[in-house]
Chains A and B, each alone.
Chain A
Amino acid sequence: MLCPPKITISHLSKRFAMGVDVLRDLNITIQSGEFISFLGPSGCGKSTLLRLLANLEKPTEGTITFDNNPQLNELAFLFQESTLLPWLTVSGNISMPLRLRKVPREERTLIAEKLADLVGLKHALDYYPRQLSGGMKMRASLARSLSLNPQLLLLDEPFGALDAISRNRLNEELHAIHYAEKWTAILVTHSIQEAVFLSDRVILLDSQPGRIHKIIPVDLPDERPRSIRESNQYQHIVAEINASLSEIPIQI
């Protein structure tokens, strides 16, 4: 059984061509099984950080180490768009990563059914993406990202394009799955409410270059029902983050 990674980010900087500093000297340790959210103004390097963690970009300076799981065999990435393959059904999309690993068809089908059930899409296994709503597409995408039993889940504003009701519902489902599975998760979002509901800690980033502005622990119970959004504690943390975010200068 693989253990969710503890991630150590040391002196991480990223500079793009033309000398644009996106991230500068980022230092943070993310504990095994922790759910972390990054919040900050547009252009503060949140998405770049996720891409660095996924090895889609190389850092200019600094290191990222995955302490408990040096190979980091399985990581999953949830993009802003669902990135479903339009020629495959929901079942085919969910099991695509398994197909790439040459898992036998019967086993793939069973896993796809189980994951579709987990995200409430069992009835839509034979649907094509064009037949799905935005929320259903993201559910299918979430199920696909869980198919390889990932130890690290990277989420880049996955629910940003959804309406408030679908977004809240998907947050609740994602929280329930994380509560049960306890992989390490890193979310990039613009929604303070979403970050507070899902996370153990919220990290606020300054913009251009992206640096840690403040780390705010989310002192809420591990199990979070829908009603927690009405609690004073939740509202207090949301207000605190809101106030902290307003301190960050925005460059337009």
Chain B
Amino acid sequence: MKRLINGKALSIGLPAVFGGVFFAIWYALRFSLELHHYELPTPIEILQAGWKQRVPLARATFTTFIGSASGFILAAIIGFLLSIFLAASSVLRRGLYPYIICMQMIPIIATSAIIVLWLDVGLVSVATIAFFISFFPIVANSLHGLRSVPLEQVELFHIYKASRVQEFLHLRIPFSLPSLFTGLKIAATLSVIGSVTGEIFAGSSEGSGGLGFMIIIYKSKYWIPEMFAATFLCCLLGFIFVGFVLALKWLLLHRWYDKTIHKDA
């Protein structure tokens, strides 16, 4: 019990201490180097600027949220389904997987430019860019989970004369869930990054741009504290997405999941 309390105290206390040191360095840099607020705004100045811009920033955050969530959900569904097909068919896996890896090698900035060219500016482009960046970790992790089932368990299903569909439904898919959530956790942060990157290219859709678009606007106006506020909101959105994935993981797996069994997940 004492150990548990110590562990919890450390997991809250240590980030608080490091956060304090970080802010101290921040203030020290600002005032010792005599920087202006448009070079390095203080956290208070960022908060004040964010509060003044709360309406456009809230609208932009909501737009980014919709773009990220659409891309993320699409990536989760298509990625997981594709990983099942790849696990089920060695022909598909050998034929298609190298191209999925190649797709991941293309820098998202380059992909974004092409997507905007094809789909025009707006939410569809932003969600597509978020989808592209989130897709690979979901496919890679769930494919790993689907193919990591211990041989003895697969053989047991063969002995029980389970069909291929039953093998996937009752064995491979449940076994792969911890790995899928590892992929979803990575994809959650990437979807926000993809969405913001997309908005920088395609965010201005009839005045309802997301946070990426707002960052560009504030930068062009030299509203640096506002730009920092928008950047922090991107970070906050990423935390919310990851928090959602972790909560869902806990809800679905906490009763049976044992880290010592699924070492990779």
Contacts and interface: CB of A to CB of B under 8 A. Distances in A.
Interface string A74-86: 0111010101011
Most chain A C-beta atoms within 10 Å of own C-beta, residue among B159, B253, B255, B258 = B159
A76 B255 contact: no
A94 B223 CA distance: 65
B99 interface: no
B150 A83 contact: yes
B155 A100 contact: no
Contacts of B258: 86, 130
Given A75-B159, A77-B159, A100-B170, A128 B256 contact: yes
A81 B150 CA distance: 10
Contacts of B170: 85, 96, 99-100
Contacts of A97: 160
Chain A CB count within 10 A is highest, among B158, B160, B161, B175, for B160
A159 to B, nearest CB: 16
Contacts of B152: 79, 81, 83
Contacts of A148: 160
B171 interface: yes
Interface string B153-197: 101111111100010001100110100000000000000000000
A129 interface: yes
Contacts of A81: 150, 152
Contact of B256 (A75, A83, A129): A129
Interface in A60-78: 75-77
A56 interface: yes
A86 B256 contact: yes
A54 interface: yes
Given A99-B170, A100-B161, A100-B162, A83 B255 contact: no
A148 B162 CA distance: 13
A99 B162 CA distance: 10
Interface in A92-126: 96-97, 99-101
Contact of B255 (A77, A85, A128): A128
Contacts of B166: 100
B261 interface: yes
A97 B171 CA distance: 12
Contact size range, B: 20 to 34
Interface in B136-164: 150, 152-153, 155-162
Contacts of A96: 160, 170
A54 B160 CA distance: 11
A85 B161 contact: no
B174 A83 contact: no
B57 to A, nearest CB: 42
Nearest to A73: B161
- Of A76, A77, A129, the most chain B CB neighbours within 10 A belong to A77
A130 to B, nearest CB: 4
Given A83-B150, A85-B171, A54 B256 contact: no
Interface in B233-264: 253, 255-258, 261
A85 B159 contact: no
A101 B160 CA distance: 8
Contact of B156 (A83, A87, A99, A130): A83
B159 A79 contact: no
**Most chain A C-beta atoms within 10 Å of own C-beta, residue among B152, B166, B174:** B152
A195 B215 CA distance: 75
Contacts of A54: 155, 159
Contacts of A87: 174-175, 177, 253, 256
Contacts of B159: 54, 56, 75-77
A83 to B, nearest CB: 5
A54 B257 CA distance: 31
Contacts of B175: 85, 87
Given A77-B159, A85-B153, 11 more contacts: A54-B159, A56-B155, A75-B159, A77-B155, A77-B156, A81-B150, A81-B152, A83-B156, A87-B174, A130-B258, A130-B261
Interface of A: 54, 56, 75-77, 79, 81, 83, 85-88, 96-97, 99-101, 128-130, 148
17 contacts: A56-B158, A56-B159, A77-B156, A77-B159, A81-B150, A83-B156, A85-B175, A86-B256, A96-B160, A96-B170, A100-B157, A100-B160, A100-B166, A128-B255, A128-B256, A129-B256, A130-B261
Q: Which 5 A/B pairs are nearest by Cβ-Cβ distance?
A: A130-B258, A128-B256, A87-B256, A97-B160, A87-B174
